[in-house]
Structure 1
Amino acid sequence: MAKRCMVNRELKRAKLVNKYAANSAELKKQMLDMSLTADQRDAAAKKFHALPRNSSPTRMRNRCEITGRPHGYFRKFGLSRNKLREHAMKGDIPGLVMASW
């Protein structure tokens, strides 16, 4: 089980990413727009770099929805390998069967 503070930190980051997504997209668009003057593009870059660091989507970490474990995460299911195996053995995940050959 991951520390509760780490899970809460990730939730806080997710909220910040959603909050600033439109603003950062607009500033990125202005920074790359060559029809604007260099001063306008620089001003947009300064505003972009002034945004909170945690508002960047690259700072988010995928975590298991049940335990908060960051390693061994399967995106398709949103679970870590341990919990995925437990739920697969119970039959909670339709269509998922244990491999045997």
Structure 2
Amino acid sequence: MAKESVKARQKKREKIVLKFSKKRKFLKESKSYELLQRLPKDASPVRLRNRCSISGRCRGYMRKFGVSRIVFRNLVSQGFIPGIKKASW
């Protein structure tokens, strides 16, 4: 489980990236890199990190489902994700 402060920081960054996305795109197209550098650092989408929507874990993130491997395994075993079952042979 990630700390609540880490989750909150990530949500804050997501909001800032959305807020400045059009402005960043315009500045990149006009090639005014000095103005681009004056924007907040968190406005860059590179600073975002894929995190599990339930636990906040960043490692072992499964992009298709939006959760980490540990949470994914629990959800599958409980039958909450349709079409997927544990392999056995």
Say whether 1:89 aligns with 2:77.
yes
Q: Which has the larger radius of gyration?
A: 1
> Counterparts of 1:55 and 1:97 in 2: how far apart (Å)?
40
Contiguous gaps of at least 5 residues in structure 2: none
Map Cα deviations across residues 14-35 of structure 1 (whole Å, 9 max, x no partner): 000000000000000011xxxx
Residues in 2 aligned to 1:45 and 1:90: alpha-carbon distance in whole angstroms: 51
Q: List, as ranges, runs of 4+ consecutive aligned residues in structure 1 with deviation greater than 2 Å.
A: none
TM-score normalised by L of structure 2 = 0.96
Matched residues, percent identical? 44
What's the RMSD between the two structures over aligned residues? 0.8
| Cα drift, residue 50 of structure 1 | 0.6
Gaps of 5+ in 1: 32-43
The number of aligned residues is 89
Q: Distance in 2 between matches of 1:30 and 1:12?
A: 27
SS of the residue corresponding to residue 11 of structure 2 reads helix
